[in-house]
Amino acid sequence: MLLALVTAAAIGLERELAAQPAGLRTHVLLGLGAALFTIAGIQFAGGDPTRVAAQVASGVGFLGAGAILQERFRIRGLTTAASLWVTAALGVAAAVGAYVALAAVTVVSLAALTLLKWVEREYFPRQRGQELAVHLSSGVRLSEALDRIQQISGTFDLRQIEPTADGGQRLVGHVRLPRTHDLLQVAERLEGVPGVSGISLQR
């Protein structure tokens, strides 16, 4: 149980310092809970460790889903959801005595959360794709609005034009942004374009 506590706390502390909703307390409780479920399942119920581990992994899915947040124009929490899943696995590993795997996965996980984050930003500025809907007010010239949208977003691949009830138009397009660009800031700048009455994220 002590090893489950220590390893879960290490990952939880990193998430806490990153100001994530699921931080130190959540990870510690999850690691301890996973270890206790495993011990109880083996010692008192005579359960198969692999079946207990499968049940723990299934239960953690609900916590992971709760850690994923969709803000106005972006989705956050995927990494934290993954860290919760790994923390549960560490708790199971501690309970069954898989100490080598426990230590190795803890070190690799901390490296992924810290070092790989920097490497990813510095050396792999991948582009992100996102579907956006741009709402134009009535009387706005489409060509002028599209030119301004292209200037701000860089690439706006227009895919659909729909009329709206107020006499305006709804433009649905695909935007590709480098990872160094903030989608929220781009969307806010688009909302400042004359004639643009709103921006919405397409799922």
- Tell me the average pLDDT across 174-183: 69
Binned at pLDDT 50, 70 and 90, residue 108 comes out as very high
Q: Based on the fold, state whether residues 24 and 52 are members of the same structural domain.
A: yes
C-alpha atoms less than 13 angstroms from C-alpha of 62 in its C-beta half-sphere? 5
C-alpha atoms less than 13 angstroms from C-alpha of 3 in its C-beta half-sphere? 19
Q: Based on the fold, state whether residues 155 and 60 are members of the same structural domain.
A: no
Convert 113-132 to b/e letters by CB count within 10 Å (16 or more is b): beeeeeeeeeeeeeeeebeb
Domain that holds residue 107: 2-123
Out of 73, 105, 123, a domain closes at 123
- Which segment, 41-45, 70-74, 106-110, is predicted with the most confidence on average? 106-110
pLDDT (tens digit per residue) in 111-126 = 999 888 788 767 765 5
**Predicted pLDDT at 57:** 81
Predicted TM-score (pTM) of this structure: 0.61
Q: Based on the fold, state whether residues 115 and 17 are members of the same structural domain.
A: yes
pLDDT at 73 over 70: no
- Tell me the average pLDDT across 53-81: 71
Out of 123, 154, 172, a domain closes at 123
**Predicted pLDDT at 72:** 47
> What is the chain's length?
203
Contacts 24+ apart (CB under 8 A), 56-64: 56/88, 56/91, 56/92, 57/85, 57/88, 57/89, 59/88, 60/30, 60/34, 60/84, 60/85, 60/88, 61/85, 63/22, 63/26, 63/30
> CATH number for the domain including 167?
3.30.70.60
Binned at pLDDT 50, 70 and 90, residue 76 comes out as low
Pick the residue with more confidence: 26 or 149?
26
**Predicted pLDDT at 124:** 65
pLDDT at 4 over 80: yes
CA dist 107 and 46 (Å) reads 32
**Predicted pLDDT at 45:** 61
Q: Based on the fold, state whether residues 89 and 143 are members of the same structural domain.
A: no
Out of 89, 123, 157, a domain closes at 123
Binned at pLDDT 50, 70 and 90, residue 129 comes out as low
pLDDT at 20 over 70: yes
**Predicted pLDDT at 68:** 66
